[in-house]
Chains A and B, each alone.
Chain A
Amino acid sequence: MNPMDIVLGVIGIALSVMIFSYLLGDNFFFRVALYILVGVSSGYAAAVLVLKVIIPRLIEPLRESGTDAFWLGLVPLALCLLLALMLVPRTVKAGTLPLAFLAGTAAAIGVAGISRGTLAPQLLAIVNRFSPDLLRENAVADWGGIVEAFFILFGVISVLFYFHHRLSRRSADAQRPLLVEGISGVGQVFLGISFGMLFVGFYSAALTALIARIVWLKEFIVALLAG
């Protein structure tokens, strides 16, 4: 193990212990480690953006005067200048133009993407569950598939009932019918199962990362002792 690896390993151990100190609450060492992480990540991201985005896509086209890339490059340059005017209090409003452009474009793309990529395919998948071709297997009813299809449909409806019931309960204190209350309760069960699965997933990911860090510490100490 060369000296540089030892130094980097010791720094890594120190930072790991500083992060682990959060078990004692929010303290100075944890904040220092967090600031180092944020600072290094921001600096690295800024360097990558300058080298991979600004220079090749903004500066380089402007060096080719008279070309299409040059004229197209003026548009992002103007937007960048307007955005930079937000640093001056008197010209803050000038920066709203590129921000409005970005927000509007992102919202439009997001809505279109959700509609085409999530809502429509998911709804079609639920409807296709009741396709006669899928519910029949060798000219015999596939009862398992039928039950599964109805179960999925009931889950979707109950979850929608739950959200609708919660919103309506906020607006008025009117007592809901018993059927609606029951379906909403079933929807709540479905949501609970989903959140539980999400929690397990998050915990598993965190546990895997923690185990990897402990294994790294163990290997580093063993290598350090072995020389």
Chain B
Amino acid sequence: MILCPHCGKENLPVATRCVHCGEDLEDLFRIEGTDPDAGLPEEQDISVSDLLQAFRQEDDSQAEKPRPVISIGKTPEPAASEETQSVTPEGEDEQTPEWLARIRKRALQEEDAAGELSRKINAMEASRAEEHQGRVDEEFANWIARIRENARRENLLAAKPAEPSPESEEGVPEWLRKVRELQPQDAEQDQPSEETIAGFSIEASAQEAEQGDEPALEQSEPAEALAANPQEESEPGAVPELESESAELVLHPDEEASPDARADEEPSEGPKTPELEPVLEELGLTAEVGALDLEEKPSSSEELSADLLLLRKQKENAQMLMTLIGEEGKGLPPAKTAREASKGWYRFILGAFLLLVLAAVIVFVPEARPIKFENPTPAVALKDALNALESGDTVLVVQEYQAATSAEMEQMSAPVLRALEERGVKLQFLTTHPNGLWLSANLMDAADIPAREISYLAGGRLGVLAAALQLDESSAAVPGALENLENYTLILLLEDSQADIQNWIEQAGPWLKAGKLGILASSQNAALLLPYYDAGQLAGYAAGTMEGRVLADALDAPTAGAPSRAYQAGLLVMIAVLLLGMIIKAEADSNARHQKEPEA
């Protein structure tokens, strides 16, 4: 088919005039890029019809003439082409242009290839030279776009085939019946929605076919084209056929919902439809588009979406309930906390720095006696209580510390025990911790006193109370070697735990005379002991190695070489770390405030 350069309609390849507008189509039978007036040196002009005729003759006489060369002279008129055509001899092959050789070669492969090509090219050139060139281009572009759109929709339809839903006896789809069961109050509203779903787009297509399409067609088509094509208007073409198809599809006309829904959901389709309608008519796509809209855009989409969301939520709740039931009785999984690697490195750096400082001080810095400071009152009171002991008095030493604090506790208690042993005081050991059984041996070695058996008091708080309430020595709840607590001149507690200290003060203290309890504790319990001492519940106490050293000096008992320098270095490191942390925190808070101020 060839296109008319005037009206753009298609015509047969052999037509010399357009059947639609009557335009002369002779110019189409020219080869693009050739000037009929210029010609070639030997052959002044080339006529396409002559060329085609020569090709056909060449096909017929190909057996007799292996490579005939067509010599085409200047032919002003197509009718005179036969007079100018002649067969060139074999010696003229060398003078044949390359373009002609290509045409010949293609002519051997395709029937009327050169003519089809020239007609299309000439038609395009001529059409672009016309006054309505822009309109033709636009229409062509719309036509191509519509074809692509149609192909895309066909792909969508092929990808989502309509599945027939199971229906009940009344013909109600299964999904709609479920929705009605879940929301019976909306059942009445669902029925028109169903009708709307089925009929909205069909109605729209019917209205377009009856009202909008033909006026749009009249507006889009130029008046002269319509006037020049009386046959097309009178023929039972695409429009009547479309009307018949649309009439078949109008099953549930819904005049209110369908046009609005289509107008809301396809705002961009409206303006293009009148322009593209002729193309759609030619392609026969109008009915298919209506069917596509029927499946893709139901009018009650919002209600359906809400119902489906409800169903999905119910399904999720049911799944969660099943999971909870399945997890019933099982242990909780360990919590996985995301740990930042940077914090670990900070901790490693600080810890390693502290270790290095302590090791360096211990190894390289010579030990020196700490500066004497004023004796703390509780330690002085404990010293007085210890000095009041005479030979033959019995002291119950309660050993209740762990191995972790054994170094600190041994530094404090060893001088005291040694002093008491030298003074002739009887020492009796008791422990409420299993670890005390073997830690006592180390303590006795450190104090350089003879080893003796240590009693084990079981039961913790209850055992302490039983020991305090022991009126006779026949109770099975306390060790046999343990006497009544009132019989001891002093009960010296070696403690590193706040709970153990409170056990003795709260359970045994009320049953004892004032000033019976003296405590040597680790430094972490200093804050706890002071109120009890102020209340008069303790004879005295010393907490930490520093106070222990003071107490040992007061008792004239030599102390073991305590690394006081390392202790001071450790305190300095911690002070520096605390100050650094406070500065960093203050800086971070300041930055946070500055970041919040612009936002406010």
In the complex, B196 has a CB within 8 A of chain A:
no
The answer, yes or no, to whether A151 is at the interface (CB within 8 Å) is no
- A65 to chain B minimum Cβ distance, whole angstroms, is 16
Question: Is B405 a contact partner of A209 (Cβ separation < 8 A)?
Answer: yes
A residues sitting closer than 8 Å to B (CB atoms) are 20, 23-25, 41, 44-45, 48-49, 52-53, 57, 61, 69, 72, 105-106, 109-110, 113-114, 116-118, 121-122, 124-125, 194, 197-198, 200-205, 207-215, 218
Question: Is B380 in the interface zone, CB < 8 Å from A?
Answer: no
> How far, in Å, is B433 (CB) from chain A's closest CB?
9
Given contact pairs A121-B536, A214-B358, enumerate 12 new A-B contacts (beta carbons under 8 Å).
A23-B352, A25-B339, A105-B462, A106-B462, A117-B502, A117-B509, A125-B534, A125-B536, A205-B522, A207-B574, A208-B408, A211-B407
Pick the contact of B524 from A110, A113, A202 — CB < 8 Å? A202
B574 touches A203 (CB 8 A): yes
| B574 touching A49, Cβ below 8 Å | no
The DSSP consensus for interface residues of chain A is helix
Question: What 1/0 mask marks residues of chain B from 433 to 451 whose CB sits below 8 Å from any chain A CB?
Answer: 0110110000000000000
The reply to whether B527 and A109 contact each other, CB–CB distance below 8 Å, is no
Partner of B505, one of A109, A117, A194, A209: A117
Q: Which secondary structure dominates chain B's binding surface?
A: helix
Interface pair B407/A208, CB less than 8 Å apart = yes
Interface size class on chain B is 35 or more
Chain B residue nearest in CB terms to A61: B476
Given contacts A23-B348, A209-B408, A211-B362, contact A201 B505 (CB under 8 A): no
B389 at the interface (CB under 8 A from A): no
B124 within 8 A of A: no
Interface residue ranges, B against A (CB under 8 Å)? 339, 344, 347-348, 351-352, 355, 358-359, 362-363, 404-405, 407-408, 411, 434-435, 437-438, 456, 458, 461-462, 465, 476-477, 496, 502-503, 505-507, 509-510, 522-527, 531-532, 534-537, 543-545, 563, 566-567, 570-571, 574
B502 partner, pick from A44, A106, A118, A208, beta carbons under 8 A: A118
Number of residue pairs across A and B with beta carbons under 8 Å? 140
* A-side contacts of B537, CB under 8 Å: 117, 121
> A118-B506, A125-B535, A198-B527 are known contacts. Are A109 and B462 too (CB-CB below 8 A)?
yes
B358 pairs with A211, CB closer than 8 A:
yes
Instruction: From the candidates A48, A69, A106, A207, name the one contacting B437 in the complex (CB within 8 A).
Output: A48
> Which of A61, A121, A203 has most B Cβ within 10 Å?
A121
Are A125 and B458 within 8 A (Cβ)?
A: no
A-B contact pairs, 13 of them (CB 8 A): A20-B355, A23-B347, A24-B344, A25-B339, A69-B476, A117-B505, A125-B531, A201-B522, A201-B523, A204-B567, A214-B355, A214-B359, A215-B566
User: Which single residue of chain B is at the shortest CB-CB distance from A48?
Assistant: B434
Partner of A212, one of B407, B505, B571: B407
Q: Which residues of B contact A203 (CB under 8 A)?
A: 574
Q: Whole-angstrom distance between the alpha carbons of A52 and B523 in the complex? A: 31
Q: Are B524 and A204 in contact (CB under 8 A)?
A: yes
Q: Are A52 and B362 in contact (CB under 8 A)?
A: no
Residue of A whose beta carbon sits closest to that of B563 = A211
From residue B337, how far is it (CB to closest CB) to chain A in Å? Answer: 11
Q: Which residue of B lies closest to A210 (CB)?
A: B358
Residues on B with beta carbons closer than 8 Å to the beta carbon of A106: 461-462
CA distance A97 to B477 in the complex (A): 21
Complex alpha-carbon distance, A14 and B442, angstroms: 22
A218 to B461, alpha carbons, bound, how many Å?
Answer: 40
Residue of A113, A121, A208, A210 near B507 (CB, 8 A) is A113
B405 CB, nearest partner CB in chain A, Å: 6
Residue pair A53, B458 in contact (C-beta under 8 Å): yes
Chain B residues with CB under 8 A of A201: 522-527, 543-544
Closest to A217 in B: B359
Contacts of B567 in A (CB 8 A): 204, 207-208, 211
Q: Which of A44, A122, A208, A214 contacts B523 (CB 8 A)?
A: A208
Q: Are B476 and A110 in contact (CB under 8 A)?
A: no
Is A41 a contact partner of B435 (Cβ separation < 8 A)? yes
Neighbouring B residues of A24 by C-beta, 8 Å: 344, 348
Query: Could you tell me the distance in whole angstroms from the C-beta of B239 to the nearest C-beta in chain A?
Result: 74
Cα separation A44 to B456 with both chains bound (whole Å): 14
Given contacts A110-B461, A121-B535, A201-B523, contact A211 B506 (CB under 8 A): no
Residues of B close to A61: CB separation below 8 A: 476
- Contact A205-B523, Cβ < 8 Å, known A49-B458, A211-B567: yes
A198 touches B507 (CB 8 A): no
Complex CA gap A215/B505 in Å reads: 35
Chain A residues contacting B535 (CB-CB under 8 Å) are: 121-122, 124-125
In the complex, what residues of B have CB within 8 A of residue A23's CB? 347-348, 351-352
